[in-house]
């Protein structure tokens, strides 16, 4: 099991938000689907920059919820490009939380999202070559 006491990545998160009461499950914790959606948004933001246009999520691998997120927690989502193919991008995403009055960051989950760059008709298209050399 991954270490939840490690430190967050050494760069700015793609998304930082506050978990709100409307995002809870019946037990009062933040709904896992909400957290996964935030992660997908962050990965999609990075994929769009790399693809220089629209891209779609085609797979999510390896998501395990390590710790709960509570109402009021500050949630930071980090995304890093792992690899690219002709039209695909594998993006590793980590979600961290901290109590809003505290400084301790706790990793709550991570996963690898795969995106494909698409054209205006919805078909896959190549990622611009200059982006491949930067990835």
pLDDT tens digits, 11-22: 999 999 999 999
Answer whether residue 124 is part of any domain. Answer: no
d(CA 74, CA 18): 5
**80 token code pair:** 């890093």
Count of domains for the chain: 1
Answer whether residue 65 is part of any domain. Answer: yes
Answer whether residue 30 is part of any domain. Answer: yes
d(CA 59, CA 124): 15
What is residue 134's predicted lDDT score, i.e. its pLDDT?
47
pTM of this structure:
0.89
pLDDT (tens digit per residue) in 28-67: 899 999 999 999 999 999 999 999 999 999 999 999 999 9
pLDDT (tens digit per residue) in 70-88: 999 999 999 999 999 999 9
Burial class of residue 19, CB neighbours in 10 A (0-12, 13-18, 19+):
buried
Answer whether residue 75 is part of any domain. Answer: yes
pLDDT (tens digit per residue) in 102-124: 999 999 999 999 999 999 999 99
d(CA 106, CA 69): 10
d(CA 97, CA 19): 9
Answer whether residue 9 is part of any domain. Answer: no
* Residue range(s) defining the domain that contains residue 20: 15-117
The domain that holds 88 is classified in CATH as: 3.10.129.10
Answer whether residue 130 is part of any domain. Answer: no
């Amino acid at each position: 099991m991954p270490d939840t006491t490690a430190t967050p990545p050494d760069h700015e998160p793609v998304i930082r938000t506050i978990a709100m009461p409307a995002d809870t499950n019946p037990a009062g914790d933040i709904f896992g689907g909400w957290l996964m959606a935030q992660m997908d948004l962050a990965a999609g933001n990075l994929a769009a920059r790399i693809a220089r246009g629209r891209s779609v999520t085609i797979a999510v691998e390896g998501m395990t919820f390590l710790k709960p997120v509570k109402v009021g927690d500050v949630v930071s989502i980090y995304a890093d490009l792992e690899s690219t193919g002709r039209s695909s991008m594998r993006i590793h995403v980590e979600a961290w939380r901290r109590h809003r009055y505290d400084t301790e960051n706790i990793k709550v989950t991570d996963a690898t999202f795969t995106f494909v760059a698409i054209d205006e008709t919805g078909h896959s298209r190549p990622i611009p070559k200059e982006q491949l050399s930067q990835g």
